[in-house]
Amino acid sequence: MFTGLVEEVGRIRSRTGARLRIGARAVLEDVEVGHSVAVDGCCLTVVAHGEGWWEADLSDETLARTTLGARAPGDPVNLERPLRLADRLGGHLVQGHVDGVGEVLAPAPDLAVRLPAGLGRYVVEKGSIAVDGVSLTVVAAHDDAVTTSIVPHTAEVTALATRRPGERVNLEVDLVAKYVERLVGAR
């Protein structure tokens, strides 16, 4: 479980087959093999690490449902370690399970993203959405798009300010909305 508050922007160093190497500092402070790290909102398992880098294996599901397979060496990625029970919850509950990939329609600060079919029903004005792992408040919600406002601090400490129209981003909608739909639909 994550908060959507990015700890640092890392860089893709390499990809060999399904293995991704990421340059980082902050998320390595107490890392061990087997730990989780969210990369652009996708929960990955640390399989190796060293001075200034760590590696994860990408499953077929991850390659098919996220933007990580298209990332290239040098690309910036948002990184976050999992929430500890003693931590403050400053963002919102983010699982690191990408629900879909959207397309940037307008860049920050008024970030607009086209939603894949079916995700719009989980997005409400003033609700939360994670875009590339960043917890954001929804300014405007539509069936096929969402608009958020990227404040200067968020632009400085995440990779969202680098995302341009046409680029793809990972999206995770609110977990509670998905459970409510399932419970109500069962009646």
Q: What is the pLDDT of residues 168-180, one digit of tens each?
A: 999 999 988 888 8
Domains of the chain from N-terminus onward:
8-80 (2.40.30.20), 100-185 (2.40.30.20)
Nearest to 172 by CA among 126, 125, 116: 116
Query: What residue type is assigned to position 136 of the chain?
Result: L
50-75: average pLDDT = 96
Tokens of 135: 């917890």
What is the C-alpha to C-alpha distance for residues 19 and 107, in angstroms, rounded to an integer? 30
Give the DSSP H or E segment for 63.
helix 60-65
Cβ atoms of 174 and 120 closer than 8 Å: no
**Phi, psi dihedral angles at 168 (to 5 degrees):** -100, 145
Does the pLDDT value for residue 97 go beyond 70? yes
Q: 3-state DSSP call for residue 60?
A: helix
Q: Does pLDDT of 36 surpass 70?
A: yes
What's residue 186's pLDDT?
67
Compute the average pLDDT of residues 3-24.
96
